[in-house]
């Protein structure tokens, strides 16, 4: 039987991870972002907005101009749904 030793190295996210204790704000809603734990098997981005339910990378957050004047895509979906339910 082959060893079941997990090979975690390549399972880590490819995104750059911020230093622990770093604080960021959602470029859409302005509320503090949640820093996700960097752990094996998690391939997502480091930041989550609990309000927008949206993920952000450090790279994206370093370019706030890209978000200027835009609504969170999740918020837009909710708005569209709300209009559809009227
Ligand atoms: Zn947000």
Q: What is the pLDDT of residues 46-81, one digit of tens each?
A: 999 998 889 999 999 999 888 888 888 777 787 888
**Averaged pLDDT of the chain:** 84
Query: By the 8 A CB rule, do 48 and 34 touch?
Result: yes
Q: Could you tell me the distance, in angstroms and rounded to a whole number, from the CA of residue 33 to the centre of ligand 1?
A: 8
Query: How close are the terminal C-alpha atoms of the chain, in Å?
Result: 60
This prediction has a pTM of 0.73
Is 54 in contact with 27 (CB distance < 8 Å)?
no
Question: For 24, phi and psi rounded to 5 degrees?
Answer: -135, 155
- Identify residues whose C-beta is under 5 A from ligand 1, the ion: 26, 28-29, 49, 51-52
Q: Cα(37) to centroid of ligand 1, in Å?
A: 19
Helix (H) or strand (E) holding 75: helix 73-84
Q: Tell which residue, 45, 51, 15, 46, has the closest CA to residue 32.
A: 51
């Amino acid at each position: 039987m082959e060893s079941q030793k997990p090979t975690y190295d390549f399972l880590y996210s490819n995104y750059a991870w911020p230093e622990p204790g770093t604080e960021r704000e959602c470029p859409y809603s302005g509320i503090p972002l949640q820093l996700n734990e960097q752990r094996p098997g998690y391939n997502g981005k480091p930041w989550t907005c609990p309000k927008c339910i949206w993920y952000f990378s450090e790279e994206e957050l370093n370019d706030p101009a890209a978000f200027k004047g835009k609504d969170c895509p999740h918020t837009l979906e909710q708005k569209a749904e709300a209009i559809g339910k009227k």
